[in-house]
Homo-oligomer: A and B are copies of this chain.
Amino acid sequence: MSHNTFGHLFRFTTWGESHGPALGCVVDGCPAGLALTEADIQPFLDRRRPGQSRHVTQRREPDQVRILSGVFEDERTDGQVTTGAPISMMIESVDQRSKDYSDIRDTWRPGHADYTYDAKYGVRDYRGGGRSSARETAARVAAGAVARKLLGPDIAIRGALVQIGERAINRERWDWDAVHANDFFCPDAETAQLWAQDMDAIRKAGSSVGALIEVVASGVPAGWGAPVYGKLDADMASAMLSINAAKAFEIGAGLNAAALRGEDAADEMRLGPDGRPAFASNHNGGVLGGISTGQDLVMRVAIKPTSSIRIERQTLTKELAETTVSTKGRHDPCVGIRGVPVAEAMAALVLADHKLRAAALTAG
């Protein structure tokens, strides 16, 4: 049952609320013998950390991870390795600014999970969104860093933001290095500059905006995935839709596949220069019949605008009185930006699980 756990063989469980004392995750099923220290994880957390530019939330959380179990000294390497036991990781909260939450305690913010949590549970930790806060994704990023260790250096998982609002990048200018050189994980330096202007205006207006994330996984061997209900792309879809504010998932041609003709959509095969199968195109995004082809996995996730905006909106109180709400505070005006490392982490976690699942079948 997937409440707060994701994955089958390589699996993780997250816990913690936005304004609780700490949050964390337990990674279970990680094979023994992988070199792993906090220094392997922290850089990924640093990438999604709040407060790094004026375009994201100004909350100040160091998001320092601590490994509490599952690793031990390795006498062979003199380093620290996984032991096969569950890896518990914890991030303590620091910036729990004392605040008056009486507004959102009693009023449902439109677009937020306030109403649905109340409908389901009858009680809700309203401070900063509680369990439904995007802060939970810090735990995913920590787990994703462990997944990357399992996947090894031959599999590269890279994410980028390809659209903010109505402005998309120019794909001809795609440069993976650019992703690290601007505040938006944008692979197109020119568009990044325009986005900075767009974002300033949006922030000033007290509004927010949606975005489109693209994740590319390279080096995945052919044969990962499973038929029918364990399809690699179905698991990716589930992983990506589990990210806060995600509203759509595409792989390969994605939505545009509906518009294609058969002769255009099928990726023709030739013999590659390395004597292995090569494909003339990648409309299928690296997956056929739920199983990887060896091509790049190319996926996109649409993230809706942050629902916490200063612009006043109509809503209800818990007592069903009509009112309006305007959310102050330190919110990401485009939650899609910091969603990039989260989407990367989810892709890594799905692949780590399927790496183990594929290995299991070698036992035959």
Contacts and interface: CB of A to CB of B under 8 A. Distances in A.
Given A117-B289, A305-B262, A86 B15 contact: yes
Interface residues of A, number: 161
B83 A125 contact: yes
A187 interface: no
Contacts of A131: 69, 83, 85, 227-228
Interface in A275-303: 275-277, 280, 283-285, 287-294, 300, 302-303
A33 interface: yes
A227 B242 CA distance: 9
Q: Which of A222, A241, A284 has the most CB of B within 10 A?
A: A241
Dominant SS at the A interface? Answer: mixed
A39 interface: no
A303 B250 CA distance: 11
> What are the 9 tightest A-B residue pairs by CB atom distance, in nearest-first order?
A113-B289, A31-B364, A111-B266, A208-B262, A359-B363, A116-B291, A32-B121, A238-B238, A110-B266
A241 B230 contact: no
A292 B116 contact: yes
A51 B30 CA distance: 34
B8 A1 contact: yes
